[in-house]
Structure 1
Amino acid sequence: MLEGRRKRVLIVEDEAMISMLIEDMVLDFGCEIVGPAARLDHALTLALQGDIDIGLLDINVDGSVVFPVADVLRFRGIPFIFSTGYDFRSLPERFRDCPALSKPFSYDTFAETLRSAFAGNSGLRALA
């Protein structure tokens, strides 16, 4: 799916079954997994210290919002994709132009969103 070296994808997701499905898709695309992180503190540590090419961030992680992780990734120049079962209008203004997936999302939608994010199309908003 992606050219060059294996891309490293940070997965932040607190639902074990969803995390496993996402991990399978990421591996299918020839990428490596960073994490997964099911808690905000673990996600922040990985975002600060990890060798990451892109992040996939569930907005609500174990009762906390993931926006501090997104801020760290943005500061490091690492693209990210939000995933949520909630309304995108709840995103803070600073993240309204970020790519986002609506749960549940399809394999094809996830693949296209990941390709677009790697290609730098940060304004893409994909809906399943």
Structure 2
Amino acid sequence: MPAATKTERQNLAGRRILVVEDDFFLASDAARALREAGAQIVGPIPRSAPALDVLARDGVDAAVVDINLGDGPSFELADALKRHGVPFVFVTGYDEILIPERLADVVTVLKPADMKAVVLAVAGLLD
């Protein structure tokens, strides 16, 4: 992955980004790319329940969320992020038609995800 640009580093510098992904390699790649752009990574966390605990306890500036965390598509975490006013990006292999209307405005990066696209999407949320 190309190095993060100066603008991306400024946008993500010191920002706490929650990474919720059950695929170890994708989670590691996303965390590394975001960290290289200056973010402080929370996680990666492979399931919704612990991510909800982190959200309630610690708060975050933004999140990268997979729709399927092992038990099929779920939007519980996405709904909680919305309620807390935390911007987030879906990174998923699912077609966007599966995303409920209430979450249709969420930026989606399709798998196989380009980590540069993930970093740009998160940086765009925090502009």
TM-score when normalising by structure 1 = 0.85
Secondary structure of the 1:6 match is coil
Question: Residue 70 of structure 1 aligns to which amino acid in structure 2?
Answer: A
Q: Distance in 2 between matches of 1:3 and 1:65?
A: 30
List gaps (5 residues or longer) in structure 1: 120-128
Secondary structure of the 1:105 match is coil
Q: Distance in 1 between matches of 2:87 and 2:12?
A: 17
Q: Distance in 2 between matches of 1:107 and 1:57?
A: 13
Secondary structure of the 1:89 match is helix
Corresponding residue pairs, total: 119
Q: CA RMSD in A?
A: 1.6
Question: Residue 58 of structure 1 aligns to which amino acid in structure 2?
Answer: D
List gaps (5 residues or longer) in structure 2: 1-8
Question: Runs of at least 4 residues of structure 1 off by over 3 A?
Answer: none
Pick 1 or 2: higher relative contact order, CA cutoff 8 A, min separation 6: 2
Percent identical residues: 29
Matched, 1:29 2:37: yes
TM-score when normalising by structure 2 = 0.85
Matched, 1:101 2:101: no
Distance 1:15 1:75, change over 3 A: same
Which residue of structure 2 aligns with residue 39 of structure 1? Answer: 47
